[in-house]
């Protein structure tokens, strides 16, 4: 008997499709919501029913609580799954879902409120016995106070927005001058993005790894930790490649974290899935708590691959009042092999990862042993400029890390996407790079290797263009518009200027639409 | 020797010199040189074999898409052949005109940080563009005076649109 009749997925893209797959497998109906920009999107086609919720900007559609509740009522849905991002960690939305008489597939509203800001999370982590990095106990009121505290704990420090996520409003500061420079700007950005300007500071770990633990709990107080995911390969504090288990941890180091994480869950009566984010120092072998993410994570498939469980189905069953189907001991016995996830973003790594929107004109997904693709696009899909750039995820599995990397290289070579730029070529380079293969990296990896991969990517792009020119000169390339004159008539906004794009700086931040 | 300009469907533009020497195509970019030799048809239907800088590569041409070694794809939008102007060095021709700042991406103009008539240094932030939930700051690739600003805050731009002119 399926737990619900119909579930509305309050999201878009690959995660909406992924959640709907679980819904369908469980014998339920899946309901999609969509903005004007997503009228023809894959998640809309894949759903059993779809409801229009507003114009392209997310604030008017995917972040519009009332429009989504209205759609759920119109569809006669029984439950709402929020995916990740958008409203997934919004307690007001969860409350509105419950008030509308629907089941919220996520953590209890009170638990969400208890860790609303990252500072609340830090306080509870301390109580649960999780190490936290030195810094302010609460929001820092003034720049003067920040300067004094920074002097005391020592530079480098991190300035962070108390609310929000996805790397927004996080800046590393190496000296007092920089602190003066970023303080007001980060306050403004935090306010713009999250409606609250609270900032706090903490000591920055130098070259840390980003390791997160998967907490799973039911409403009867049972908890397990489905080990960890290594999410160290990042750019702008946003993850690119994740793997499970972490190549850096020993079994006893991993197990050391289970008890305090479960204690944390017990303190706030948290149930469903949660991700306990930490930084880990290779030198001191210490973890420091970052935050508890109250949602299904982008990178959940790698945990699914090594434990052979379906986290979305588990999440739905827990929301329906089921007990956890395994103990920690049983779960530990299930673990096999190694999994890697590559986030396929519509971005240009050659141009500082700027978004690349447009129509997908060529699309061929890899298949075969150890390969899974969670995609939100297909041939002909439009990648709109309004939302984030993740279009699909390539997940590979091998009986050990080396085999998983080999499967990754093969699958990346087989994955072809035309019409938008993607991060695929970059991942091919990373997967064959020596330090990555040895598991020797920190969150600074992308910045440190920048020159090397840029050179590789640029050469590869130029080689393709050179080959195109050769094919053209030899008459092997047909159906191409050609002009053989230096005089070109072009509109003022589309000049024939072939090289002088503006220089892009790396200082970008995430904004809410 | 010819000057060739290849634009891809993604809006990327490549300027190169093209020459044929002893049955080899010699192609020069600003930072790379490629010697390309056509070997002949491959083992599979529709496949062509090329030697690029001494290494053999397999190439398919499919509906305008060029698929190299079954791995990477490239689609040509346009190829233009231009006579080489007298008195200009090859480097100058490849480098193109400086001072016309084009949008490197599709997005929305958030903020313009300079006014017409402002003197700017190389690397100085000019404006910012927002797309896919991140804001990118566009800086001056050359120093000079802002002659004309072609866009307004809030305006949508496509890749390759002219943003402003520095003289």
ipTM of the complex: 0.89
What's the CA gap between A379 and A509, in Å, rounded? 30
Q: Does A465 touch chain B (CB under 8 A)?
A: yes
What's the CA gap between B143 and A55, in Å, rounded? 40
Residue A513: per-residue pLDDT: 30
Q: Does A492 touch chain B (CB under 8 A)?
A: yes
What's the CA gap between A407 and A315, in Å, rounded? 29
What's the mean pLDDT in B85-107?
76
Same domain membership, residue A213 and residue A183: no
Give me the number of domains chain A comprises: 3
Could you tell me if A213 and A257 are in contact, meaning their C-beta atoms sit under 8 angstroms apart? Answer: yes
| Beta carbons of B76 and A480 less than 8 Å apart | yes
Tell me the count of A-B CB pairs closer than 8 A. Answer: 244
Same domain membership, residue A418 and residue A353: yes
Distance from CA of B160 to the nearest CA of A (A): 6
Residue A418: is it exposed, middle or buried by C-beta count within 10 angstroms (0-12/13-18/19+)?
buried
Establish if A471 belongs to a structural domain: no
Establish if A499 belongs to a structural domain: no
Same domain membership, residue A220 and residue A149: no
Residue B55 has pLDDT above 50, yes or no: yes
Kindly state the tokens that stand for A257. 């974290």
Give me the residues of A, 306-365, that contact B with CB < 8 A. 346-348, 351-352, 354-358, 361-362
Kindly state the tokens that stand for A383. 């990648």
What's the CA gap between A246 and A237, in Å, rounded? 18
User: Which CATH number is A348's domain given?
Assistant: 3.30.470.20
Residue B13: per-residue pLDDT: 86
The label of the residue with tokens 């930084």 reads: A279
Q: Is the dihedral of CA B145, B149, B153, B158 positive or negative?
A: negative
Please indicate whether residue A495 is annotated as part of the active site.
no
| CB under 8 A, 24+ apart: contacts of A451-460 | A453/A349, A453/A426, A453/A429, A454/A349, A454/A350, A456/A429, A457/A349, A457/A350, A457/A425, A457/A426, A457/A429, A458/A350, A458/B31, A458/B32, A459/B31, A459/B32, A460/A425, A460/B72
Nearest neighbour of B133 by CB, restricted to A483, A494, A511: A511
Nearest neighbour of A509 by CB, restricted to B105, B134, B160: B134
- Domain end call among A412, A427, A459: A459
Same domain membership, residue A226 and residue A171: no
Same domain membership, residue A441 and residue A299: yes
User: Which CATH number is A186's domain given?
Assistant: 3.30.1490.20
Regions of chain A with pLDDT less than 50: 479, 481-502, 504-513
Nearest neighbour of A467 by CB, restricted to B66, B78, B130: B66
Residue A493: per-residue pLDDT: 34
Stated as kind and residue range, the H or E segment containing B58 is strand B55-62
* pLDDT, averaged across chain B: 89
Q: Does A505 touch chain B (CB under 8 A)?
A: yes
Residue A284: per-residue pLDDT: 86
| Beta carbons of A494 and B161 less than 8 Å apart | yes
What's the CA gap between B127 and A252, in Å, rounded? 51
Task: Give the active site residue among A254, A295, A343, A401.
Answer: A295
Could you tell me if A435 and A207 are in contact, meaning their C-beta atoms sit under 8 angstroms apart? Answer: no
Same domain membership, residue A146 and residue A90: no
Angle at which helices A311-319 and A300-307 cross, to 10°: 100
Kindly state the tokens that stand for A505. 């700086």
Distance from CA of A509 to the nearest CA of B (A): 5
Distance from CA of A497 to the nearest CA of B (A): 6
Residue A265: per-residue pLDDT: 97
Q: How confident is the model at residue B86 (pLDDT cuts 50, 70, 90)?
A: confident
Where are the alpha helices (H) located in A324-444, listed in sequence order? Answer: 328-334, 401-414, 424-431, 434-438
Same domain membership, residue A287 and residue A163: no
Nearest neighbour of B102 by CB, restricted to A348, A413, A497: A497
Same domain membership, residue A343 and residue A196: no
Residue A164: per-residue pLDDT: 67
Classify A161 as helix, strand or coil. strand
Count other C-beta atoms under 10 Å from residue A284's C-beta: 10
Q: Which residue segment(s) compose the domain that A360 sits in?
A: 208-459
Residues on chain B touching A507 (C-beta within 8 angstroms): 137
Number of helices followed by number of strands (H, E) in chain B: 1, 16
What's the CA gap between A65 and A104, in Å, rounded? 13
| Beta carbons of B79 and A472 less than 8 Å apart | yes
Establish if A287 belongs to a structural domain: yes
| Beta carbons of B72 and A236 less than 8 Å apart | no
Residues on chain A touching B29 (C-beta within 8 angstroms): 462, 465-466
Residues on chain B touching A463 (C-beta within 8 angstroms): 32, 34, 52, 68
Distance from CA of A9 to the nearest CA of B (A): 21
Most distant CA pair in chain A, distance: 76
Domains in chain B with CATH codes: 2-95 (no CATH), 100-166 (2.40.50.100)
Same domain membership, residue A90 and residue A38: yes
Same domain membership, residue A220 and residue A196: no
Distance from CA of B87 to the nearest CA of A (A): 16
User: Which CATH number is A58's domain given?
Assistant: 3.40.50.20
Establish if A474 belongs to a structural domain: no
**Gap between the terminal Cα atoms of chain A:** 40
Nearest neighbour of A477 by CB, restricted to B61, B83, B105: B61
Residues on chain B touching A481 (C-beta within 8 angstroms): 77-78
Interface test with A, best of B136, B160, B167 (most A CBs within 10 A): B136
Residue B33 has pLDDT above 90, yes or no: yes
What's the CA gap between A513 and A302, in Å, rounded? 30
Distance from CA of A504 to the nearest CA of B (A): 5
Query: From residue A350, how far is each of A120, A290, A356, A358, B28 by CA, in Å?
Result: 39, 30, 12, 18, 20
- Domain end call among A459, A481, A506: A459
What's the CA gap between B52 and A459, in Å, rounded? 12
Same domain membership, residue A326 and residue A297: yes
Q: Does A192 touch chain B (CB under 8 A)?
A: no
Establish if A63 belongs to a structural domain: yes
Of A51, A92, A40, which is closest to residue A74 (Cα–Cα)?
A: A51
Establish if A167 belongs to a structural domain: yes
Same domain membership, residue A313 and residue A454: yes
| Beta carbons of B18 and A469 less than 8 Å apart | yes
């Amino acid at each position: 008997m399926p737990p619900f009749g119909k579930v509305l997925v309050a999201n878009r893209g690959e995660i909406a499709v992924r959640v709907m797959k679980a819904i369908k497998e469980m014998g339920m109906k899946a309901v999609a919501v969509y903005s004007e920009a997503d009228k023809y999107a894959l998640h809309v086609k894949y759903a059993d029913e779809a409801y229009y919720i507003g114009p392209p900007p997310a604030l008017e559609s995917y972040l519009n609580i009332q429009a989504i509740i209205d759609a759920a009522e119109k569809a006669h849905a029984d439950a709402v799954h929020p995916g990740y991002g958008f409203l997934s960690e919004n307690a007001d939305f969860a409350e509105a879902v419950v008030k509308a008489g629907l089941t919220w597939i996520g953590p209890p509203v009170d638990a969400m409120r208890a860790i609303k800001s990252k500072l609340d999370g830090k306080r509870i982590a301390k109580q649960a016995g999780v190490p936290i990095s030195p810094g302010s106990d609460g929001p820092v009121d003034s720049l003067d106070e920040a300067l004094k505290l920074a002097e005391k704990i020592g530079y480098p420090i991190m300035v962070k927005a108390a609310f929000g996520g996805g790397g927004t409003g996080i800046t590393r500061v190496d000296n007092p001058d920089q602190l003066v420079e970023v303080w007001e700007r980060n306050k403004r950005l935090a306010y713009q993005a999250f409606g609250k300007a609270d900032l706090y500071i903490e000591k920055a770990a130098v070259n840390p790894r980003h390791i997160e633990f998967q907490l799973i709990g039911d409403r009867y107080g049972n908890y397990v930790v489905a080990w960890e995911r290594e999410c160290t390969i990042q750019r702008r504090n946003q993850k690119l490649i994740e793997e499970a288990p972490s190549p850096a941890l020993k079994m006893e180091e991993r197990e050391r974290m289970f008890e305090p994480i479960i204690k944390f869950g017990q303190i706030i009566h948290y149930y469903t899935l949660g991700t306990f984010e930490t930084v880990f120092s290779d030198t001191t072998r210490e973890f420091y708590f970052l935050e508890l993410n109250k949602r299904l994570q982008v990178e959940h498939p790698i945990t699914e691959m090594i434990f052979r469980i379906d986290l979305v189905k588990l999440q739905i069953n827990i929301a329906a009042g089921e007990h956890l189907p395994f103990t920690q001991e049983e779960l530990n016995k299930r673990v096999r092999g190694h999994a890697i996830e590559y986030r396929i973003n519509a971005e240009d790594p050659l141009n500082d990862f700027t978004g690349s929107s447009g129509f997908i004109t060529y699309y061929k997904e890899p298949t075969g042993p150890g390969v899974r693709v969670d995609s939100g696009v297909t041939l002909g899909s439009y990648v709109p400029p309004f939302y984030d750039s993740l279009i699909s995820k390539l997940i590979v599995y091998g009986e050990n890390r080396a085999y998983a990397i080999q499967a990754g290289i093969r699958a990346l070579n087989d994955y072809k996407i035309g019409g938008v730029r993607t991060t695929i070529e970059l991942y091919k380079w990373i997967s064959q790079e020596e330090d990555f293969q040895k598991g020797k990296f920190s969150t600074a990896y992308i910045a440190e290797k920048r020159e090397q991969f840029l050179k590789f990517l640029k050469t590869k792009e130029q080689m393709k263009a050179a080959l195109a020119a050769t094919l053209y000169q030899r008459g092997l390339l047909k159906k191409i518009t050609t002009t053989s004159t230096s005089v070109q008539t072009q509109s003022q906004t589309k000049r024939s200027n072939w090289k002088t794009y503006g220089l892009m700086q790396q200082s970008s931040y995430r904004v809410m639409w | 020797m010819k000057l060739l300009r290849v634009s891809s469907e993604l809006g990327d533009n490549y300027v190169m010199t093209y020459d044929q020497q002893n049955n080899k195509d010699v192609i020069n970019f600003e930072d790379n040189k490629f010697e390309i030799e056509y070997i002949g048809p491959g083992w599979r239907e529709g496949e062509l074999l090329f030697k690029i800088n001494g290494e053999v590569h397999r190439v398919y041409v499919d509906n305008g898409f060029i698929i190299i070694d079954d791995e990477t794809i490239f689609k040509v939008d346009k190829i233009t052949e231009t006579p080489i102007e007298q008195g200009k060095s090859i480097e100058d021709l490849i480098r193109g005109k400086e001072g016309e700042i084009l949008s490197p991406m599709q997005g929305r103009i958030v903020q313009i940080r300079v006014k017409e008539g402002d003197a700017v240094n190389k690397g100085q932030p000019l404006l910012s563009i927002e797309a896919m939930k991140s804001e990118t700051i566009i800086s001056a690739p050359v120093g000079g005076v802002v002659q004309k600003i072609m866009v307004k805050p809030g305006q949508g731009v496509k890749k390759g649109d002219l943003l402003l002119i520095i003289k």
